[in-house]
Amino acid sequence: MISDLVLGAMYLGTRTDRDTSYALLDRFVSAGGTTIDTANCYAFWAHPSGHGGQSEATIGEWLWLNPGIRDRLVLSTKVGVEPLDTGGLEGLAPDVVRREAQRSRERLGVDVLDIYWAHGEDRDTPIGETVDAMGALVSQGVVRRLGLSNHPTWLLERARAHALARGLEPFSAVQLSTSYIAPRPGARVEGKDHRFGWVTDETLDYATVHPKVEVWAYSPLLGGAYDRGDRPFPRAYQHSGTSDRLAALAEVADRRGLSRGQVVLAWLLHRRPQLRPIVGVSSLDQLESALVAAEVELDDDELAQLDAPA
């Protein structure tokens, strides 16, 4: 379903100009999309200032131009990896969590953040302190749900246990990178610098045992490599297991008259546990392709065929 698809807003307001950004948001919502994912640091590397906030500000401007649309949306943003002028990242200390939640709300022009994520690990701050600060925001009514991105599963469990023991809102979503094919174990993937930013068998097992914990998948299409000859898969993905899975993927795609990337998105949405794909699109054509994929119904035989190659 389109409502399970997440629109990734990373480059809205930087690489994606304002008019295109507004057009993407308009089309996504008109098609039935509800969930928009951003972060306070997006996209610092694409802006002359070296700081983020452009994506949130662009969404906020669009919301202001579309009164009444806010209640139809789930707005998701993150804290933790905005660069500091003095070097390093902002981290997840309680004062940072509180300050940045306020700044994100101001840029978005909203009273409440629907999902607030701890974006990346901060081993200098005990996870309990972060949980207490984020849980307090839920208790105060300025955040509805909490998520954890790019953290190991053991830390997710520790954070949830801490929250539940204190009567606070636990993390109920995790955001990690994954796709239909996987890199060689231990191989470095260019551009992916989060050590624990990957869906693993342990992640899937945890989500199966804890069905209230959603798994959101970023970079599901590997930069368009499934369908674009000018964008080869990163070297870490080039192994025999990839070849077998791509063959199965191509067979299902050809039979259905779909692109390989569309089948990848449909597979993520229909597999169990479900992995909600975050699609970062830069054009209406790319968005339309993702919207078609979200409406594709894969049957049990197709899912079995896609899952067969190990």
Distance CA 188, CA 178 (A): 14
Q: To which H or E segment does residue 37 belong?
A: strand 35-37
pLDDT given at position 188: 87
The conformation of residue 83, written as its DSSP 8-state character, comes to B
Contact indicator for 150, 120 with CB cutoff of 8 Å? yes
Handedness of CA 173, 179, 185, 188 (dihedral sign): negative
Handedness of CA 196, 199, 205, 209 (dihedral sign): positive
What six digits make up the tokens of 216? Answer: 């959101």
Single-letter code of the amino acid located at 208: T
The conformation of residue 224, written as its DSSP 8-state character, comes to G
The conformation of residue 190, written as its DSSP 8-state character, comes to T
pLDDT given at position 309: 83
pLDDT given at position 72: 95
pLDDT given at position 187: 84
The SS3 call for residue 115 is strand
Instruction: Decide the pairing of beta strands 143-149 and 171-177.
Output: parallel
**pLDDT digits (tens), the chain, 310 positions:** 899 999 999 999 999 999 999 999 999 999 999 999 999 999 999 999 999 999 999 999 999 999 999 999 999 999 999 999 999 999 999 999 999 999 999 999 999 999 999 999 999 999 999 999 999 999 999 999 999 999 999 999 999 999 999 999 999 999 999 999 999 988 888 878 788 999 999 999 999 999 999 999 999 999 999 999 888 999 999 888 899 999 999 999 999 999 999 999 999 999 999 999 999 999 999 999 999 999 999 999 999 999 988 7
